[in-house]
Structure 1
Amino acid sequence: MTAHYQPPFHMSADIVQLVADISEQLGRMAAIAEGADQGLRLRRLHRIRTIQGSLAIEGNTLSEAQITAILDGKRVLAPAKDIREARNAIQAYEQFPTWQPASERDLLQAHRTLMAGLIADAGSYRSGNVGVMNADVVVHMAPPASRVPPLMADLLTWLATTKQHPLIASSVFHYEFEFIHPFSDGNGRMGRLWQTLILSQWQPLLAQLPIESMVHAYQDDYYQALNLSNQKSEATPFIEFMLSVIAQTIRTEAEEMTPQATPQATPQVDALLKVLANATKALNRQELQQLLNLKDRESFRQRYLRPALAAGLLEMTRPEQPNSPLQQYRLSKLGQQQARKG
């Protein structure tokens, strides 16, 4: 790289259209958010989804319920490494507003926070050479360790001086960061964290959206976009992918926040709510199936239980242990409201 390095990419028609679409959607979402009366709850939910999604991409097994429990200071039965990763991520997002995207000091501090207790060189650039593996195949050999400091310095200088739209600049940075692979571990979660940081300084609303959870839903496409950009030696395919993910995330969140889009329960969910509304205590799965006269366990989970949980209409009595044999369910406040309407 030179002092005037310009990361290679071109403005495809898809990129131009996606930037316009996202900007329009953000305007609509900002108007919806102003009238939302559950902003704190939504921000907390989005933060949990963001952490769970980003860590899951790296193989972390914790569920949203378990991360919620950790956030609340509750005990969670899970691998110690997974719990440490979640606690680190929670701490990182608490420091999020204090970081500047073009600051190398802040970048290293963020990595130190994310990877504390997980690797020996947390907060420092790698000292050895690394390759990105797909099963047993090396799909990308990162630049030599000796080149990492100057490459990162040039990338951060570009980020500080570029006139590109933040949607594009953040995606370019994310791709270039993954190409350089500056750390011995934690590069994926750092790249996603830093893109969100860049975007949040352009539009604060984007700090609240669970983009990482959407990327997790399209994990194979995420890695395919990285590999395609590597093959083409330019960031364009990755920019298109990330912008499409951001656009879909905003569209989904706006629909959920729109007043008329409050949960419209299916007949199956309505029946489940009615059973719990008439109960005097929390009930387990077997009790619920019996009261609903259902014999097929998987059908009950797919058509009744999971939709009700996803809509926030039910609560688990053991959220830190979602698969516990002692798990029971009760109506949430939203579920109580829905049951009264029914």
Structure 2
Amino acid sequence: MGKLYQPPYTITSKIINLIAKISESVGRLSVITNNENALKLRRINRIKTIQGSLAIEGNTLDESHITDIINGKRVLAPQKEIQEVRNAIEVYDHFGQWQPDKEQHLLDAHHILMKGLIDEIGSYRSGGVGVLSGQDVIHVAPPANQVPRLMKDLFSWLNTTDDHPMIVSCVFHYEFEFIHPFSDGNGRMGRLWQSLILSKWHELLAYIPVESLVYKYQKAYYQAIHDSTAQSDSSAFIEFILSMLLEAILELSPQEDPQVTPQVKSLIQALSNNEMRRDALQQRLNLKDRKSFRERYLQPAIEAKLVEMTIPDKPNSKLQKYRLTSQGLYILNNLEAKGADDE
């Protein structure tokens, strides 16, 4: 029997510290996932994940467009971008059915993710490809005839390694991008499979929108891939991805209870049904003065990061709606728990 492939990576002190901080932060985040409000948070984060992952690949649709597509509404946009969103939605609908150590499941996921977009779906590429950062080629992938063997070796390692799942997920992600096994969709698939590996360690990590931060720090993402390749050691990539994961979790984690005014509490409770327009919120709160509503209810809630806009880049959009953040859901949970105790 031949020697099993061992990807080259060094477990640095920074990696160990990041794992410790992520583990602690996941525990804090767990406090808002044990009731029905967790479903709302997961839905919001899934939309952010889809938008972030597709934006990295050049898709211009925002969260409101994705929400409309999920709800079956008509969206005026390039058909290719709409198809990419529909495929991604379907992929996440199947997310819980896949096992990260099954190579066929990876191929099945690619078939869904890229259907209607390219010819080679659900199968490894037949030609050469490279990794681009803007117009720059930062990596030329191995020849196509080597891909089946390289992927078999990678899955063999995944099935036998004893390293921490956080490390394993990052290493798999990097090695996957190095091999670039598909003719297209490699970035989306690499990020998807990392989330799948992480979800088997802790289910909450299936709903952390790391892709939004990767999109924000896209240049650093490609630089981490380049540095890892140049050093023949994926530690730089592991450190980068774990840093993004920690930042994403901290953005969602409940902090110390803020001082919430009665007006903001009322707004939070009014938003318990998820997304609402400003006029609908005012009507629910029985408020007629728009200026008073904005100054005493809406703006303080947004500044405290308890409420957010669904289209933050277009604050004055006619389609603008408002929804609770993870911290807002945390406050809502406490209000509902207190109400139940008082009964």
- After TM superposition, the score normalised by the length of structure 2 is 0.79
SS in 2 for 1:122: coil
RMSD of aligned Cα (Å): 3.8
Please give the alpha-carbon distance, in whole angstroms, between the structure 2 residues aligned to 1:224 and 1:173: 17
Superposed CA deviations along residues 312-335 of structure 1, whole A, max 9, x for unmatched, are: 46678xx9xx97998265777999
**Count of matched residue positions in the alignment of Structure 1 and Structure 2:** 310
Q: Which amino acid aligns with 1:27?
A: G
Per the alignment, residue 12 of structure 1 pairs with 12
Please give the alpha-carbon distance, in whole angstroms, between the structure 2 residues aligned to 1:120 and 1:59: 19
Please give the alpha-carbon distance, in whole angstroms, between the structure 2 residues aligned to 1:213 and 1:254: 16
Per the alignment, residue 260 of structure 1 pairs with 257
Structure 2: any 5+ residue segments left out of the alignment?
A: 268-277, 285-289, 293-297, 333-343
Moved over 3 A (4+): 134-137, 261-267, 275-281, 303-308, 310-316, 322-326, 328-335
CA gap 1:243/1:154 in 2 versus in 1, 3 angstroms: same
CA gap 1:264/1:115 in 2 versus in 1, 3 angstroms: farther
Superposition map of 1:190-339 within 5 A: 190-255=189-254, 260=257, 307=302, 312=307, 327=318
Per the alignment, residue 23 of structure 1 pairs with 23
Per the alignment, residue 89 of structure 1 pairs with 88
Please give the alpha-carbon distance, in whole angstroms, between the structure 1 residues aligned to 2:218 and 2:135: 19
Please give the alpha-carbon distance, in whole angstroms, between the structure 1 residues aligned to 2:179 and 2:310: 43
After TM superposition, give the deviation of residue 4 of structure 1 in Å: 0.9
SS in 1 for 2:94: helix
Please give the alpha-carbon distance, in whole angstroms, between the structure 2 residues aligned to 1:315 and 1:248: 21
SS in 2 for 1:260: coil
Q: Are 1:214 and 1:249, in contact at CA under 8 Å, matched by a contact in 2?
A: yes
CA gap 1:21/1:123 in 2 versus in 1, 3 angstroms: same
SS in 2 for 1:109: helix
Q: Are 1:92 and 1:114, in contact at CA under 8 Å, matched by a contact in 2?
A: yes
Please give the alpha-carbon distance, in whole angstroms, between the structure 2 residues aligned to 1:168 and 1:131: 25
Per the alignment, residue 285 of structure 1 pairs with none
SS in 1 for 2:81: helix
SS in 2 for 1:21: helix
After TM superposition, give the deviation of residue 260 of structure 1 in Å: 2.4
After TM superposition, give the deviation of residue 183 of structure 1 in Å: 0.4
Per the alignment, residue 66 of structure 2 pairs with 67
Given the alignment of the two structures, is residue 101 of structure 1 paired with residue 92 of structure 2, yes or no? Answer: no
CA gap 1:236/1:106 in 2 versus in 1, 3 angstroms: same
After TM superposition, give the deviation of residue 276 of structure 1 in Å: 5.2
Q: Are 2:180 and 2:186, in contact at CA under 8 Å, matched by a contact in 1?
A: yes
SS in 2 for 1:138: strand
After TM superposition, give the deviation of residue 138 of structure 1 in Å: 2.1
Superposed CA deviations along residues 165-193 of structure 1, whole A, max 9, x for unmatched, are: 00000000000000000000000000000
Superposed CA deviations along residues 77-120 of structure 1, whole A, max 9, x for unmatched, are: 11111100000000000101111111111000000000000000
Superposed CA deviations along residues 185-242 of structure 1, whole A, max 9, x for unmatched, are: 0000000000000000110111121121222222121111111111111110000001
After TM superposition, give the deviation of residue 134 of structure 1 in Å: 3.2
Q: Are 2:309 and 2:315, in contact at CA under 8 Å, matched by a contact in 1?
A: no
CA gap 1:21/1:278 in 2 versus in 1, 3 angstroms: closer
Structure 1: any 5+ residue segments left out of the alignment?
A: 282-287, 293-302
Per the alignment, residue 109 of structure 2 pairs with 110
Residue identity over aligned pairs, in percent, reads: 49
After TM superposition, give the deviation of residue 250 of structure 1 in Å: 1.3
After TM superposition, give the deviation of residue 24 of structure 1 in Å: 1.5
Please give the alpha-carbon distance, in whole angstroms, between the structure 1 residues aligned to 2:4 and 2:135: 37
Q: Are 2:301 and 2:307, in contact at CA under 8 Å, matched by a contact in 1?
A: no
CA gap 1:163/1:333 in 2 versus in 1, 3 angstroms: closer
Superposed CA deviations along residues 129-163 of structure 1, whole A, max 9, x for unmatched, are: 11223344321110000000000000011001100
Q: Are 1:132 and 1:140, in contact at CA under 8 Å, matched by a contact in 2?
A: yes
Please give the alpha-carbon distance, in whole angstroms, between the structure 2 residues aligned to 1:123 and 1:265: 54
Please give the alpha-carbon distance, in whole angstroms, between the structure 2 residues aligned to 1:82 and 1:148: 28
CA gap 1:324/1:80 in 2 versus in 1, 3 angstroms: farther
